[in-house]
A and B are shown apart, each in its own frame.
Chain A
Amino acid sequence: MTNTVHEPSEQALIQLLTPEGERRSHAEYDSYIQDVDAEMLRGFYRDMALTRRFDQEATALQRQGQLALWVPLRGQEAAQIGSGRATRPSDYIFPTYREHGVALTRNVDFPQMLRIFRGISNGGWDPRENNFHMYTMVLAAQMPHATGYAMGIQRDQAGWDAERLEKDGEAVVAYFGDGSSTEGEVHESMVFAASFNSPVVFFCQNNQWAISVPFHVQSKVPLADRAAGYGFPGIRVDGNDVLAVLAVTRWALERARRGEGPVLIEAVTYRMSAHTTADDPTKYRLDADEEAWVGRDPLARLEKHLRDNDLADELFFKQVAVDGDEMATRVRVEAMAFPDPELAQSFANVYAEAHPLIQEELKWHLEYEAGFADTTEEGATR
Chain B
Amino acid sequence: MSTTTMTLAKAITAGLDKVLADNPKSLLIGEDIGRLGGVYRVTDGLIDTYGADRVIDSPLGEAGIIGTSIGMAIRGYAPIAEIQFDGFVFPAFNQITTQLAKMRARSEGRFGAPVVIRIPYGGGIGSIEHHSESPEALFAHTAGLRIMAPSNAHDAYWMIQQAAACQDPVIFFEPKRRYWLKGEVDTENPAADAFKAQVIRPGEDATIVTYGPLVPVALAAAEAAREDGRSVEVIDLRSVSPIDFDTITESVEKTGRLIVTHEAPTFGGIGGEIAARISERAFLSLEAPVIRVGGFHMPYPVAKVEEQYLPDIDKVLEALDRSFAY
Contacts and interface: CB of A to CB of B under 8 A. Distances in A.
Interface in A104-162: 121-123, 126-128, 133-134, 136, 138, 141, 143-153, 155-156, 158
A147 B71 contact: yes
Interface in A276-312: none
B63 A145 contact: no
Contacts of B58: 192, 195
B35 interface: no
A187 B104 CA distance: 26
A123 B74 CA distance: 14
SS class, residues of chain A in contact with chain B? helix
A350 B75 contact: no
A188 interface: yes
A3 interface: no
Interface string B146-168: 10000000000000000000111
Interface string B121-150: 000000000000000000000011010000
A355 B98 CA distance: 20
B167 A350 contact: no
A349 B108 contact: yes
Interface in B42-71: 53, 58-59, 61, 63-64, 66-71
Given A148-B74, A152-B76, A141 B67 contact: yes
A289 to B, nearest CB: 32
A271 B182 CA distance: 62
B71 A127 contact: no
A352 interface: yes
A98 B103 CA distance: 19
A365 B119 CA distance: 35
B304 interface: no
A113 B62 CA distance: 32
A149 B72 contact: yes
A353 interface: yes
Contact of A349 (B64, B72, B104): B104
A352 B112 contact: yes
Given A158-B53, A185-B63, A145 B71 contact: yes
Contacts of A373: none
Given A149-B74, A152-B77, A353 B166 contact: yes
Contacts of B77: 152, 155
Contact of B91 (A147, A148, A184): A184
A346 interface: yes
Contacts of A350: 104-105, 143-144
Contacts of B70: 144-145, 148
Contacts of A147: 64, 67-68, 71
A156 B64 CA distance: 21
Contacts of B243: 357
Contacts of B167: 352-353
B253 interface: no
Contacts of A192: 58-59, 61, 64, 68
B104 A144 contact: no
Interface string A187-205: 1110110010000000000
A123 B107 contact: yes
Interface hub of B77, B105, B112 (most chain A Cβ within 10 A): B105
Contacts of B79: 148
Interface string A171-195: 0000000000000110111011001
Top 4 A-B pairs, shortest CB-CB distance: A148-B71, A144-B67, A152-B75, A148-B68
9 contacts: A123-B110, A141-B95, A148-B75, A152-B74, A155-B53, A184-B63, A188-B59, A189-B64, A349-B109
Interface of A: 92, 121-123, 126-128, 133-134, 136, 138, 141, 143-153, 155-156, 158, 184-185, 187-189, 191-192, 195, 346, 348-353, 355-357
Given A145-B71, A152-B74, 19 more contacts: A128-B110, A128-B111, A141-B99, A148-B68, A148-B70, A149-B74, A151-B71, A152-B72, A156-B75, A158-B53, A188-B63, A191-B61, A192-B61, A192-B64, A195-B58, A351-B146, A353-B167, A356-B245, A357-B242
